[in-house]
Amino acid sequence: MTGNILVVDDDADLRETLQALLDDSGYGVTAVANGKAALDKLRTGARPSLILLDLMMPEMNGWQFLERARADEVLDAIPVVIMTARRKGTDLLPAPSRDILHKPFDTKQLLHTIALYAATS
Amino acid sequence: MPSDEARISERVLQHIAEIGTGECSITDASIAAEGDPSAQEILAGLLMLHEDLQYSQERHSALLDELRGAIRARDEFLSVASHELRTPITTLGLQIDGLFRMLQQHVPQGQQDTLSRRLEVTRRQVDRLAALVGALIDVSRITSGRVQLSRQLADLVEVIRLVLERFGDEALRGGSALQFARRGPVWGNFDVSRVDQVFTNLLSNAIRYGRGKPIVVGACSAGEMARFWVEDQGIGIPPEHQGRIFQQYERAAPSTSYAGLGLGLWISRQLVEAMGGTISVHSEVNAGSVFTVEIPRNG
C-alpha cells in the first residue's frame, strides 16, 4: 500500500510546509484548503490512506467535514489525524482510526503519527 | 424650646424609625405625616437620600456587570489569541526541521557549522515562543477552571531524567553543571506532562538565576508522597518576597534584569495543587534557593 495523504488546512503556509515535508518523506500528498474542497477531492480522486485535518476552516470546518465523512461508509473508513491547538478533543475521536496531533507538533511527532496509518511508497 | 408646630408626633416618629428596619416605606410615612411640615421636610430629605442610594446601587451593579464582562472578554481573547499563535509556531518549527534536513543533505560538511548554529538559535527562539504561548494558554485554563489531569503509572525518576537530558545544553550554556541525586525508582500515578512542566519550570528558573553555579536536583519517595526538588546556588530570594513569588505576575527578581512573564511559579503552584500536592521554597540571598514539590503517588 502506498501512502497517499490528503492535507486539509486553510493556512496556505502550513499546507505548503506539510506538503513539502511529507513529499520528502516518501508520501504522495494532495492538499486542499477546507472541508468542502476535501469532499470534492474525495469524490473525484483516488482514496487516500490518511486525511490530515485542520479544524478551524472557512466554508466547511473540520467538525462539519467529520460529520459528513461519518455519514458515508467509504469515507468513514479512511483514518483521520486531526491537527488542533486545543488540548482536549477526544469528543472528535469516535472511531479507533482517528488520532490527534496537538499544535505545535514537530516533524518527529508528525511522521510518527502518520506512520501508524500510512506506509511510505 | 421647639414650638408646637415643630414637634413631630410619636406616631410619625415611629413610622420614620420603621423606615430604617424596612417595616414602613417612605411613601407610607409621608401619608401618615400629612399636615406635619417638619416631618414632611425630614421625609423629603430621606427620600432624596434613598434615591441617591438606589442610584448608587444600580450604578454599582452595572459597573460590576461591566467588569465581569471585561474579564470574560479578556479571558476569551487570551484563550483565542494563544491558541491562534500555535499554528504559526507549528509552521515555523516544521520549516526549521526541513531546513536542517536540507542542510545535512545538500550542504558540504565543511560549510554546515555556521548555518547549523544559526538554525539552532532559530529553533531555540521558536521553542521559547512556544513555551511563552503555552504559559498563556495555561493561565487561561487555570483562571477558567479548565485544568484536566491525565494520570498514568510512571517513574518520577525517569520523568526527571528526560527533562535533564533536554536541558543539558541549556545548562551548559549557562555554565551550570547538573547533578541528579536520586533514590528511586519512584513509581506512582502521575500526570507525566504536568510533572514534566513543573520540574522544567523549576529547572529553567535555577539555570536563569543560578548562572555559572552547579544545580542539584533530586527525587525520592516520602511515604504516600513523591518528592522532587531543585537546588541552585544563585541570587536567592529575600524573605519578604518568598511569599509572593507563587502569585500571578509576581517576581522577586527585577524584570529589568531577568526576562519572563512572572507566571511560571504561579502556574506550577496551581498545577501542583490540582494534583493534590504542595510546593515550597527555602532560600537565602546570595546563597541560593531550594524548591521542593510533593505530590501524592496515588493521586
CA distance B267 to chain A (A): 16
Instruction: Please state whether beta strands B225-231 and B187-190 pair in parallel, antiparallel, or not at all (unpaired).
Output: unpaired
| C-alpha cell of residue B282 | 527555602
B38 by DSSP, 3-state: which?
helix
Q: Is B148 on the interface with A (CB under 8 A)?
A: yes
Whether pLDDT at B170 is above 60: yes
Per-residue pLDDT, averaged over B41-51, amounts to 89
CB contact under 8 A, A14 and B91: yes
Q: Residue A18 and residue B93: Cβ atoms within 8 Å? A: no
Give the residue numbers in A contacting B (CB under 8 Å), as ranges: 11, 13-14, 17-18, 20-21, 24, 83, 85-88, 103-107, 110
Q: Return the H-helix or E-strand segment holding A62.
A: helix A62-70
C-alpha torsion B16→B22→B27→B30, nearest 10: -10
What is the mean pLDDT of the segment spanning B69-95? 89
State the nearest Cα–Cα gap between A74 and chain B, in angstroms: 30
| Residue A85 C-alpha, separation from nearest chain B C-alpha, in angstroms | 6
Amino acid at A4: N
Mean residue pLDDT of chain A comes to: 87
Instruction: Give the per-residue pLDDT at A93.
Output: 57
Is B39 found in the same domain as B117?
yes
**DSSP conformation class of B26:** H
B72 and B114 in a single domain? The answer is: yes
Number of inter-chain CB pairs under 8 A, A vs B: 48
Interface test with chain B among A14, A52, A88, by most B beta carbons within 10 Å: A14
Is B95 in Cβ contact with A14 (below 8 Å)? Answer: no
Domain residue limits at B20: 1-146
Contacts of B89 in chain A (CB under 8 A): 103-104
Nearest alpha carbon to residue B253 among B208, B287, B297, B299: B208
Weakest-pLDDT range from A102-106, B86-90, B110-114, B258-262 = B258-262
| Furthest-apart CA atoms within chain B: distance in Å | 113
CB–CB contact A107 B94 (8 Å):
yes
Residue B244 has pLDDT above 90, yes or no: no
Best of A10, A15, A17 to disrupt the B interface by mutation (most B CBs within 10 Å)? A17
Question: Is B12 found in the same domain as B131?
Answer: yes
pLDDT (tens digit, 9 = 90+) per residue, B183-217? 779 999 999 989 999 999 999 999 999 989 999 99
Yes or no, beta carbons of A104 and B101 under 8 Å apart: no
Residues B119-159 pLDDT 10s: 998 998 898 899 888 888 888 888 888 888 888 999 999 99
Q: At residue B184, what is the residue type? A: G
Q: Do B291 and B158 belong to one domain?
A: yes
| Beta-strand relationship, A28-32 and A4-8 | parallel
Mean pLDDT of chain B: 88
What is the pLDDT at residue A1? 44
* Whole-number pLDDT of residue A92: 58
Residues B100 and B190 in one domain: no
How many domains does chain B fold into?
Answer: 2
What gap in Å lies between CA B261 and CA B102, rounded to an integer? 35
For the record, the C-alpha cell of B288 comes out as: 541560593
- Give CA–CA dist B2/B211, Å, rounded: 84
The beta-carbon contacts of A58-65 under 8 Å, at least 24 apart in sequence, are: A58/A10, A58/A34, A59/A34, A59/A35, A60/A34, A60/A35, A60/A36, A61/A34, A61/A35, A62/A8, A62/A35, A62/A92, A63/A92, A64/A35, A65/A8, A65/A35, A65/A38, A65/A39
Contacts B94 to A, Cβ<8 Å: 14, 17-18, 21, 106-107, 110
Indicate the DSSP class of residue A48.
P
Strands laid side by side in the A98-102 sheet: A28-32, A4-8, A50-54, A80-84, A98-102
- Do residues B169 and B131 both lie within one domain? no
Point out the domain boundary residue: B113, B146, B179.
Answer: B146
The arithmetic mean of pLDDT across residues B260-273, rounded, is 89
Between chains, do B91 and A110 touch, taking CB under 8 Å as contact?
Answer: no
Q: What average pLDDT does the segment B104-117 reach?
A: 89
Are residues B186 and B58 both part of a single domain? no
| CATH of residue B265 | 3.30.565.10
Domain boundary among B146, B161, B177: B146
**pLDDT for the residue B6:** 54
Backbone angles phi, psi at B272, to 5 degrees: -60, -40
Cα angle B168, A104, B132 (rounded to 5 degrees) comes to 65
Q: Which of B90, B98, B141 sits opposite A103 (nearest CB)?
A: B90
Instruction: Note the helical H segments in B107-155.
Output: 112-143
Are B135 and B16 within one domain?
yes
Shared-domain flag, residues B218 and B273: yes
Same-domain check for residues B141 and B168? no
Same structural domain for residues B113 and B193?
no
- In sequence order, the 6+-apart residues with CB closer than 8 A to the CB of A32 are A6, A7, A8, A38, A40, A41
- pLDDT at residue B1 in the model: 47
The reported pLDDT for the residue numbered B184 is 75
B-chain CB neighbours of A26 within 8 Å are none
Judge whether B130 is closer than 8 Å to chain A, CB to CB: yes
* Residues A40, A16 contacting (CB under 8 angstroms): no
pLDDT for the residue A3: 83
* Per-residue model confidence (pLDDT) at position A96: 59
Task: Tell me which of B106, B122, B146 is where a domain ends.
Answer: B146
**Whether residues B78 and B121 fall in one domain:** yes
Q: Which residues does B152 contact at the CB level (< 8 Å), separation at least 6?
A: B189, B190, B191, B192
- Quote the distance between the C-alpha of residue A74 and its chain's center: 16
Q: How do residues A15-67 score in pLDDT, each as one tens digit? A: 999 999 999 999 999 999 999 999 999 998 888 999 999 988 999 999 899 98
Q: How far is CA B145 from CA A85, B94, B271, in A?
A: 18, 32, 11
Residue A28: CB partners within 8 Å, gap ≥ 6? A2, A3, A4, A5, A121
Which among B136, B226, B207 is positioned nearest to B168, based on CA atoms?
A: B207
